Structure 1
Amino acid sequence: MAERARARQAVLTKPPGSLGRLERLAITLSAQQQREQPDVDAVRIVIFAGDHGVCAENISAFPQAVTAQMVANFAAGGAAISVLARHLGADLEVINTGTVTAQPLLPGVLDERIGAGTANIAQAPAMTRTQCEAALEIGVRAAARAAQAGIGLFVGGEMGIGNTTSATAVASALLDSDPAALTGPGTGLSPTGVMHKTEVIRRALQRHGQDKDPLHVLASLGGFEINALAGALLGCAQHRIPVLVDGFIVSVAALAACRLQPALRDWLHFAHRSGEPGHSAVLGALDADPLLELDMRLGEGSGAAIAVPLLQAACRLHNQMASFDSAGVSHDS
């Protein structure tokens, strides 16, 4: 199918290669979907939320209660990703994988809490292996629902105060990298706060980071929502759904998932390079060249949502442009 897509691009009314990466996106999506006319109009955005015990180490500028409050904000339609989902006409699904406090039933929110947040990774494993597998399965089920709904493009997002700490720890372990090179401000730490956060991550790595097995890394250093994201990406590959990867945290989940199943990489498109310093290293490990660089670091899948129209434009150009012959346009020199 990729060869057919390339052949079509070669006869459209434009100089060869003049649409740049949009041409390559269309060819890749055609091959992924096994369709002569790729279609990513049906978009589902799934936000996984969970709390982190490492917040006890004072590594965030925001209190832990914000995670549950933001889940309610998603349900009420007031978050950035809520606005972007409406703008795109995309489905928005929110999954509570483990906030500290249980919540009442909220519209559009699935309660799949594994526990009341993870343990403090500076002192103990984040979760048991059983809990890690349960988190992965939450994501796999989300991908299966997307497939059943006929979704053409999957966007994963996250919400969890403290999750840049866990994600940086996971990235440091998988990349065998000094956390000082990867640690950033998250929700807005001062330089002193970033130094403290780095030391907390270093303590966690000293405790848990010797075993590089991806499941061990996710269980000992990850988060319920991070691990669910990894499961969702694996599930999307299984169901042949292209994925638009958001920023740092989702990219870390993608890195872990690709270590578990390298073939997953063929299903991933990368939306943007975030303002988190560790993101470039993770993108490099995934051989990823993101579409945008807007200094975003909000999370929630927001950067990926911003990039969705680029993929849709690539498909429309591929599908709807005239050929030289059909338009009666000369193209031979």
Structure 2
Amino acid sequence: MRTFNIHTPKDDLLTDIQNKIDYKTKPLGSLGLLEKIAAQICLVQQSLTPTLSHPAIMVFAGDHGLSEEGVSAYPAEVTHQMVLNFLSGGAAINAFCKQHNIDLQIVDAGVNHHFNFDPHLTDRKIAMGTQNSLKTEAMNQIDLEHAINIGSSMVCHKVEEGCNIIGFGEMGIGNTSAASLLMAAFTDTDIIDCVGRGTGVECEALDHKKEVLKQVFEKHQDKIKAPLDYFRSVAGLEMAMMLGAMLQAAESKITIMVDGFIATSVFLTAKKLYPHIQSYALFSHQSDESGHKHMLEYLEAQPILQLGMRLGEGTGCAMAYPIIQSSIQFLNEMASFESAQVSGQS
């Protein structure tokens, strides 16, 4: 398994960054979270005049063998049907990326469907989905390593194109179940408290989902002290590819936009492996999916938005991006008390 070189950014500029923020023509701290975002990006870029260039969102898609246990309100074929919707430009993520001029890349990591050639689809299929984690490990070591390496190389390509801020989305029926299992393991929370409605599971079906995930957790819990072994036992190929992409983004010293419940569960895994990765992460929104709030609290992370969304696809990243832009805009364009000849606070 390859290793990544991830360290907390140097803080030599921290005083200068804070002074630049504080001496803008505004009361101290009055721009709230925008000020924190600006300071973080300055540290990541090691610059007092940061820029955002070639923003990108990668949406990884994959099927989950566990879906055959009835843990989702939707059938497994919805995964490939939604990928086709992405490719035709009909999904929410297409609309938001177009609105905010974000490069969108759709990646087949492990969808159980043979797609016809489409120039808008990046074919990195490793397998036709994962195995059923109730019965065996979701993926083997070779497939996990392959997925991580592919995710890493894709981010390297984006960085070569000039990208310095990137978000990750996903599509995969059953992946809220995988995310719940990761949350339980890496936040030490009872699995029952980690299980939500996902795509809309209700009442008896929700009870069934909880019982299935309890059994899956018990089957693989002996691997928790080896995070990657546990991850490959319960996660999806799209999640594994996202893991490699997140780790590479941090190694490349670019800003990571973390989406909702599934993406945050992948980020939890990344942080278990490389604790300093959080210095590079902005958390786009708090999903309405049960458990996401608690994951963010565990990470001591403040979400940029709270809109009651629970869609996935990277939509939270796309919606948060213009706010991140505003944080850079005020830092670079807003006058200081001195340049505006305005009296500051005494």
Q: Same fold (TM over 0.5)?
A: yes
Distance (whole Å) between structure 2 residues aligned to residue 326 and residue 284 of structure 1:
40
Bigger shift: residues 276-285 or 95-104: 276-285
Distance (whole Å) between structure 2 residues aligned to residue 206 and residue 21 of structure 1:
40
Q: Percent identity?
A: 38
Give the alignment partner of residue 34 of structure 1, picking from 38, 42, 46. Answer: 46
Partner of 1:324: 337
Shift of 1:332: 5.1
State yes or no: 1:122 paired with 2:134: yes
Give the alignment partner of residue 189 of structure 1, picking from 197, 201, 205. Answer: 201
CA RMSD in angstroms, aligned pairs only: 1.2
2:34–2:324: 8 Å Cα contact kept in structure 1? yes
Shift of 1:156: 0.3
Alignment of 1:56-95 (within 5 A): 56-95=68-107
Give the alignment partner of residue 207 of structure 1, picking from 215, 219, 224. Answer: 219
Distance (whole Å) between structure 2 residues aligned to residue 124 and residue 109 of structure 1:
30
1:174–1:217: 8 Å Cα contact kept in structure 2? no
Give the alignment partner of residue 147 of structure 1, picking from 148, 159, 163. Answer: 159
1:77–1:83: 8 Å Cα contact kept in structure 2? yes
Give the alignment partner of residue 275 of structure 2, picking from 262, 282, 287. Answer: 262
| SS at 2:128 equivalent | coil
1:26–1:318: 8 Å Cα contact kept in structure 2? yes
1:234–1:257: 8 Å Cα contact kept in structure 2? yes
Partner of 1:247: 260
Amino acid at match of 2:59: I
Bigger shift: residues 84-93 or 322-331: 322-331
Distance (whole Å) between structure 1 residues aligned to residue 246 and residue 314 of structure 2:
13
Amino acid at match of 1:36: L
Shift of 1:41: 4.6
Shift of 1:228: 1.1
Amino acid at match of 1:154: I
Amino acid at match of 2:157: R
Give the alignment partner of residue 311 of structure 2, picking from 288, 298, 301. Answer: 298
Post-superposition Cα deviations, 1:262-315, rounded to whole Å, max 9, x if no partner, equal 111111111111111111222122221111111110000001211111110010
Runs of 4+ in 1 over 6 A off after TM superposition: none
Shift of 1:146: 1.7
Unaligned runs of 5+ in 1: none
Cα separation, partners in 2 of 1:11 and 1:126, compared to 1, 3 Å = same
1:72–1:106: 8 Å Cα contact kept in structure 2? no
Give the alignment partner of residue 314 of structure 1, picking from 327, 335, 339. Answer: 327
Unaligned runs of 5+ in 2: 1-12
Amino acid at match of 2:234: L
| SS at 1:209 equivalent | helix
Distance (whole Å) between structure 2 residues aligned to residue 260 and residue 55 of structure 1:
27
Distance (whole Å) between structure 2 residues aligned to residue 75 and residue 223 of structure 1:
21
Amino acid at match of 1:11: Y
Give the alignment partner of residue 236 of structure 2, picking from 223, 236, 253. Answer: 223
Amino acid at match of 1:235: Q
1:283–1:289: 8 Å Cα contact kept in structure 2? yes
Distance (whole Å) between structure 2 residues aligned to residue 24 and residue 281 of structure 1:
21
Distance (whole Å) between structure 1 residues aligned to residue 129 and residue 345 of structure 2:
64
Bigger shift: residues 166-175 or 314-323: 166-175
Post-superposition Cα deviations, 1:49-85, rounded to whole Å, max 9, x if no partner, equal 0000011101111111111111111111111000100
Q: Could you state the TM-score of these two structures normalised by the residue count of structure 1?
A: 0.97
Aligned residues: 333
2:102–2:318: 8 Å Cα contact kept in structure 1? no
Distance (whole Å) between structure 2 residues aligned to residue 159 and residue 332 of structure 1:
50
Bigger shift: residues 44-53 or 96-105: 96-105
Partner of 1:165: 177
Distance (whole Å) between structure 1 residues aligned to residue 82 and residue 325 of structure 2:
29
Amino acid at match of 1:233: M
Post-superposition Cα deviations, 1:177-233, rounded to whole Å, max 9, x if no partner, equal 222101011111112211111111111111112211111111101100111111111
State yes or no: 1:96 paired with 2:108: yes
Post-superposition Cα deviations, 1:113-136, rounded to whole Å, max 9, x if no partner, equal 110100011111000011111111
1:270–1:288: 8 Å Cα contact kept in structure 2? yes
2:40–2:279: 8 Å Cα contact kept in structure 1? no
Post-superposition Cα deviations, 1:150-193, rounded to whole Å, max 9, x if no partner, equal 11211100000111011111221222322210101111111221
Distance (whole Å) between structure 2 residues aligned to residue 92 and residue 292 of structure 1:
21
